[in-house]
Amino acid sequence: MYEGVDTIWMDGEFVDFEDAQTHVLTHGLHYGTGVFEGVRCYDTADGPAIFRWEEHLERFYQSAKPYDMEIPFEPEEISEATVELIRREELDSCYIRPVAFYGYGPLGLNPGNSPVQVAIAVWPWGAYLGEEALEEGVDVAVSSWRKHASSQIPTNAKTTGAYVNSVLASLEAKGNGYTEAIVLNKEGNVAEGPGENIFLVRDGELYTTGLAESILDGITRQSVVDIAEDLGYTVHDDATISRGELYTADELFFTGTAAEVTPIRSVDDNEIGAGTKGPVTDEIQTTFFDILDDPPAAYEDWFHPV
Ligand SMILES: Cc1[nH+]cc(COP(=O)(O)O)c(CN[C@@H](CCC(=O)O)C(=O)O)c1O
């Protein structure tokens, strides 16, 4: 995955990949007290550009707040370091992973005396759910693991430790021969995927679960809502979707920085629609990738040049 990656930015310095280490008594390793972002840089017609960078950077700092975590760098410093790192790696497109965590200090739940460390890594990352997934769609299963509720962990924050919930759901799905999971919330309605938001198409209208369903407020989700509305679709972006509605949907698809727009062709072995990428999904996905390839003026503020 990291072939050819030489450098990582860590705590204000560019360091060699193999030197980007942390101590085994790092607070974040023991208690999951870290926050991160997943971002993509695309090789657009206007050159390499980071997609929705300002929104991702804002969410990075917001995610730290519930943990009293002061990220010891200004957004401008993180931004400059990220652009410089992409240039040093000579990548026209890449996945970008900023992470901030309570580092090496006295253990115990209170992280107060552990320093906050920050690192940024970039690497080429292709289709998250497999090369054929974007075209053919994926087979998914509803997980027996429920999404933790927003009353239990701030689901609008990308907390490293919270992702054990996603790991459990993803491991279960893959262990049972599916590509990905869909997780229900504690009410038993649809939340999202382990690392994706979810959209449902019914009678030509789009539905996506709202923040009250204990989901991450996905930036790709919001971008797809905007794109769909600009295409003239009615979008219900605060939907409650029952498990049964998954099976009777005309179309389903995931959205996410890593997943981009990935069609779902079956749920629990029930074919969705025609069992392949549906026409609305195809139009949304094609428009999404066209915007990434050659950003129209209307979307130019979605792109941060590298
Ligand atoms: C739980 C979850 N829900 C929705 C999304 C989509 O959010 P956005 O990227 O802002 O559209 C992601 C991103 N998942 C990231 C991490 C994936 C990983 O395996 O790590 C990502 O897509 O980068 C989630 O982790």
* Residue ranges around ligand 1 (CB below 6 Å): 38, 166, 192, 195-197, 216, 218-221, 255-259
Distance (Å, whole) CA 95 – CA 230:
27
d(CA 292, CA 49): 9
Reply yes or no on whether the pLDDT at 80 is more than 90: yes
Q: Write the CB contacts of 133 (distance below 8 Å, at least 6 apart in sequence).
A: 127, 179, 262, 263
Query: Who's near 230: CB < 8 A, 6+ residues apart?
Result: 298
Residue boundaries of the structural domains of the chain:
7-123, 131-293
The best mutation among 158, 167, 184, 216 to test binding of ligand 1, ranked by most ligand atoms within 8 Å of the C-beta, falls on 216
Q: Give mean pLDDT, residues 137-153.
A: 97
Superfamily of domain 131-293: D-amino Acid Aminotransferase, subunit A, domain 2 (3.20.10.10)
Residue range 137-159: mean pLDDT, rounded: 97
Nearest atom (ligand 1) to Cα of 59? 10
Distance from residue 272's CA to the centre of ligand 1 (Å): 23
pLDDT value, residue 26: 98
> Which is the closest atom of ligand 1 to the Cα of 166?
1
pLDDT digits (tens, 9 = 90+) for 187-203: 999 999 999 999 999 99
Instruction: Tell me the best of 197, 221, 224 to mutate to test the pocket of ligand 1, counting ligand atoms within 8 Å of each CB and taking the most.
Output: 197
pLDDT at 1 over 90: no
State pTM to two decimals: 0.97
Annotation marks residue 158 as catalytic: yes
Distance, CA 48 to ligand 1 centroid (Å)? 21
Task: Label the pairing between strands 235-239 and 47-51.
Answer: unpaired
Residue 271 has pLDDT above 90, yes or no: yes
Task: Please return the burial class of 251, using the count of CB atoms within 10 Å of its CB with bins 0-12, 13-18 and 19+.
Answer: buried
For ligand 1, atom 4, the nearest C-alpha belongs to: 196
Q: Whose CA is nearest to atom 24 of ligand 1?
A: 195
Tell me what percent of the residues of the chain surpass a pLDDT of 70. Answer: 100
Closest Cα to atom 7 of ligand 1: 218
299, pLDDT greater than 90: yes
The tokens describing 260, both together, are: 């981009």
DSSP class per residue in 185-206: -TTSBEEE-SS-EEEEEETTEE
Report the separation in Å between the CA atom of 36 and the middle of ligand 1, taken as the mean of its atom positions.
10
pLDDT band per the 50, 70, 90 thresholds, residue 280? very high
Predicted confidence (pLDDT) per residue in 89-127, tens digit? 999 999 999 999 999 999 999 998 899 999 999 999 989
The CATH number, out of the four listed (3.30.479.30, 1.10.760.10, 3.40.50.970, 3.30.470.10), of the domain defined by the range 7-123: 3.30.470.10
pLDDT of 49 higher than 90: yes
Are residues 48 and 91 in contact, defined by beta-carbon separation less than 8 angstroms?
yes
ipTM over 0.95: yes
Residue type at 189 in one-letter notation: N
Mean pLDDT (the chain) is 97
Q: Which of 65, 147, 158, 277 is catalytic?
A: 158
pLDDT at 40: 98
Is residue 155 packed enough to be buried (19+ CB in 10 Å), middle (13-18) or exposed (0-12)?
buried
Mean pLDDT of 123-136: 93
